Amino acid sequence: MHSSRRSVVVTGVGPVCGFGVGAEALWNGLASGGTAIAPIARFDAHAFPCPLAASVPADALDVLKLVPKSYRKATKVMARDIEIAVAAAHAAVADAGLTTRGTAEGQPPTIPAGRVGCHIGAGLIAADTDELSGALVTCRRPDGTFDIGAWGQAGMQNLTPLWLLKYLPNMLACHVTIIHGCEGPSNTITCAEASSGLSLGESRRVIERGAADACLSGGAESKINPMGMLRQHFAGRTVTPGAGEDALGLLKPFSTSSCGTVLGEGGGLLVLEELECARRRGGRILAEFAGFAAGQCGADTLGQDLSGAGDDVAAVINGALNDAGMKPGEISAIVPLGSGTSTSDAAEVAGLRQVFGARLSNIPLVTIIPAVGNCAAGAGALAATTAVLCLDRQMLPARRAGGDLPGVDASPCAARSMPLSSVLVVTTSLGGQITAVVFRRAA
């Protein structure tokens, strides 16, 4: 580790998941051993191969209440993914005790606007099916086919002029930077489940090199819509229960019978801050961002089947440990993706075995997807937030399912206290990007 580099710490977390918004909702949900996965109520999904998901409860996220009065109109062009990011930013800023334009309009911000960056991982945002279909159907010919000539001439006028702006992935960061007045470097990383980890790594580099003193960083996504669910089904990622079979029962990370994941919506933003900046303002330090690395798996299968990518996962973990100046023996717990998709679970376990050897069976793996679902671009942010909360509380949450692979500590158990010095977060993605982050207990 370069001692000349600026140190980066976590001073706030803003998770959003099926348990609700904020650290308490996430922790209490995970600690309880319950799950937010349930039949989808937002649209009629009963005919989907997997009709379950972990949706953010409607009463937990009212975006109108989270934005300044002057910004309420803009909520009309917020797709679900954007709402989640706005809620995450609101929670993270509050948790860090920061004053921003969004928390107190007209008051000076804790950190000057130009010194605050924003990096939010995002996915493809699906157009609202009812809105788009309602417009398209105005150009339906009597035989049921689509008349593109009529669409070009008049039909498209049925879409609101700002329609496209609901669906650009960078609109998550756009809205968050406007609401909170973040004028520093801002980016939108779109690498499926690796998006959040890559965003965290980039925020850290930005702060290290002095381009910002703090960043809102993480990711958010909702695939709980027809296109999002369809694509994951096509990619063979989600469980496909047979008649009368319980989809939730099939979600078993790191199990000999892993057969797929269940989607969630959510993610989170963390407040990453330069150590001295945090100290000067008396910010509470939840954890130190000690190490980061990323990589791309050997992509013979174009990142779809990662089962042979154990070497690549190991290289990334070793890179993060090296970046942190740490040895594998210093890791107390691991938050993997653990999606339940057998091929990516296999890559994660193979990589972990290479790095940790026989000791792996004594390092708890914290599997959260059976509780909050796979939140795609938001998954890594929930994993990172969980790691930070574990370090801060010196506790591990409950585990619900899976974990019967030999040599891993991942089977169901209750929440428990445990001395934790450093936690590793490892995330693999559909597409083959891999990230590893090491958080260390605050000194």
Partner 1 sequence: MSGPRIVVTGMGWVTPLGHSLEAVWPRLVRGESGMNRTSRFDARTFPTTFCAEVKDYSIAPFVRDAAVHATAGLNSQFALGAAAQAWKQARLHESPASDLRRVGMYLGAGEGALDSENYVATNIASWNESQKRSDGAVWIAEALRRMNGLRELEQEPNMPLAHLAREFGIRGPASNCLTACAASTQAIGEAFEQLRRGDTDVMLAGGTHTMIHMLGVTGFNRLTALSASTGDPCAASRPFAADRDGFVMGEGSGMVILETLEHARRRGATILAEVAGYGSSADAYRITDIHPEGRGPGAAMSAALAQAGIDPRAARPDGRAPVDYISAHGTGTTENDSIETLAVKRVFGDQARRLAMSSLKSMMGHLIAAAGAVEFISCVLSMQNSVLLPTMNLRNPDPTLDLDYVPNASRAGKVDICLSNSFGFGGQNDAVVVRRFEE
Binders of partner 1 among residues 211 to 240 (CB under 8 A) are 211, 226, 230-231, 234-235
226 versus 412: smaller Cβ distance to partner 1: 226
Site for partner 1 in 257-316 (CB under 8 A): 293-300, 302-304, 312, 315
Ranges assigned E (strand) in 104-179: 116-121
d(CA 415, CA 411): 12
Q: Examine residue 413 and tell whether it contacts partner 1 (CB under 8 A).
A: no
Scanning 125-133, 388-396, 399-407, 416-424 for contacts with partner 1 by CB under 8 A, the matching segment is 125-133
SS3 call for 37? strand
Cβ–Cβ under 8 Å, residues 382 and 268:
yes
Q: Of 38, 60, 94, 168, which one interacts with partner 1 (CB under 8 A)?
A: 168
Cα radius of gyration (the chain) = 21
Q: What minimum distance in Å lies between the beta carbon of 78 and partner 1?
A: 10
Q: What minimum distance in Å lies between the beta carbon of 274 and partner 1?
A: 16
Counting residues that bind partner 1 (by CB under 8 A) gives 95
Q: Of 93, 198, 375, 384, which one interacts with partner 1 (CB under 8 A)?
A: 198
b/e 203-234 (16+ beta carbons within 10 angstroms → b): bbbbbbeeebbbbbbbbbbbbbbbebbebbbe
Q: Of 124, 259, 395, 415, which one interacts with partner 1 (CB under 8 A)?
A: 124
68 versus 163: smaller Cβ distance to partner 1: 163
Scanning 29-37, 53-61, 136-144, 406-414 for contacts with partner 1 by CB under 8 A, the matching segment is 136-144
CA angle 231, 132, 122 (to 5 degrees): 45
Q: Of 25, 118, 331, 391, which one interacts with partner 1 (CB under 8 A)?
A: 118
Phi, psi of 204 (to 5 degrees): -65, -45
174 versus 366: smaller Cβ distance to partner 1: 174
Site for partner 1 in 75-114 (CB under 8 A): 77, 113-114
Site for partner 1 in 335-364 (CB under 8 A): none
Q: What minimum distance in Å lies between the beta carbon of 17 and partner 1?
A: 23
13 versus 192: smaller Cβ distance to partner 1: 192
Going by C-alpha positions, the residue among 120, 59, 64 that lies closest to residue 88 is 120
Scanning 89-97, 127-135, 240-248, 363-371 for contacts with partner 1 by CB under 8 A, the matching segment is 127-135
Q: What minimum distance in Å lies between the beta carbon of 3 and partner 1?
A: 14
Q: What minimum distance in Å lies between the beta carbon of 265 and partner 1?
A: 17
Query: Checking DSSP bridges between strand 20-21 and strand 8-17, what pairing results, if any?
Result: antiparallel
Question: What is the rounded (10 degree) CA torsion for 7, 391, 333, 425?
Answer: -50
Q: Of 56, 79, 86, 189, which one interacts with partner 1 (CB under 8 A)?
A: 189
Q: Examine residue 171 and tell whether it contacts partner 1 (CB under 8 A).
A: yes
216 versus 382: smaller Cβ distance to partner 1: 216
Q: Of 115, 175, 252, 400, which one interacts with partner 1 (CB under 8 A)?
A: 175
d(CA 134, CA 152): 16
SS3 call for 134? helix
Site for partner 1 in 369-408 (CB under 8 A): none
Beta-ladder partners of 53: 38
From residue 270, how far is each of 15, 95, 419 by CA, in Å?
8, 9, 23
Q: What minimum distance in Å lies between the beta carbon of 342 and partner 1?
A: 18
Site for partner 1 in 26-85 (CB under 8 A): 43-48, 74, 77
Q: Which residues contact 53 (CB under 8 A, 6 or more apart)?
A: 37, 38, 40, 45, 223, 224, 229, 262, 263, 264, 265, 373
Q: Which residues contact 248 (CB under 8 A, 6 or more apart)?
A: 35, 37, 52, 262
Q: Examine residue 132 and tell whether it contacts partner 1 (CB under 8 A).
A: yes
d(CA 370, CA 402): 9
Q: What minimum distance in Å lies between the beta carbon of 220 and partner 1?
A: 14
Q: Examine residue 202 and tell whether it contacts partner 1 (CB under 8 A).
A: yes
Q: Is 73 exposed, middle or buried (0-12, 13-18, 19+ CB in 10 A)?
A: exposed
CA angle 400, 405, 406 (to 5 degrees): 125
33 versus 226: smaller Cβ distance to partner 1: 226
